[in-house]
Amino acid sequence: MRNVIVRGAATALVLMVMLFAPLTALAANTFYGITVHVSSSNIKVQDPKTKQTLSFDLVPKFDQIFSADGKTTYQMKAIKAGQYVGVIYDQKALGIRHADKIYLLNNANQRIGKQ
């Protein structure tokens, strides 16, 4: 009897999360700064003005790294520590920040190629 109640409660919880998650999902945001750490599973970026540092999870085989015009893509190995980047991210999955796209920037904190 106890197992039936636990399973029913777990099922109800899963259904509630599935129904209400789209309503509470945050819109995509952009964070600009200097890359502090980069690996195949995450990237850490610090805003030099506010000294705020954010970490972003990367899905396996992440391939959304773009040039300024958005036409050229790069591999993950193109991002190095100390490089300026712009990260477009959201927090849909359990509030965890994950990168959707990464743009390579120049030292003026602008997209490369912009004048």
What does the pLDDT look like over 60-106, one tens digit per residue? 888 888 876 677 888 888 889 999 999 999 988 778 899 999 998 87
Helix (H) or strand (E) holding 9: helix 2-24
The answer as to whether 92 is a domain residue is yes
**Count of domains forming the chain:** 1
CA nearest neighbour of 87 among 113, 54, 59? 54
- Angle (CA) 52-57-62 rounded to 5° is 125
The answer as to whether 16 is a domain residue is no
The answer as to whether 52 is a domain residue is yes
Instruction: Determine the structural domain holding residue 72 and report its residue range.
Output: 27-104
The answer as to whether 100 is a domain residue is yes
Assessment of whether the complete model's pTM goes beyond 0.75: no
Burial class of residue 35 (count of CB atoms within 10 Å of its CB; 0-12, 13-18, 19+): buried
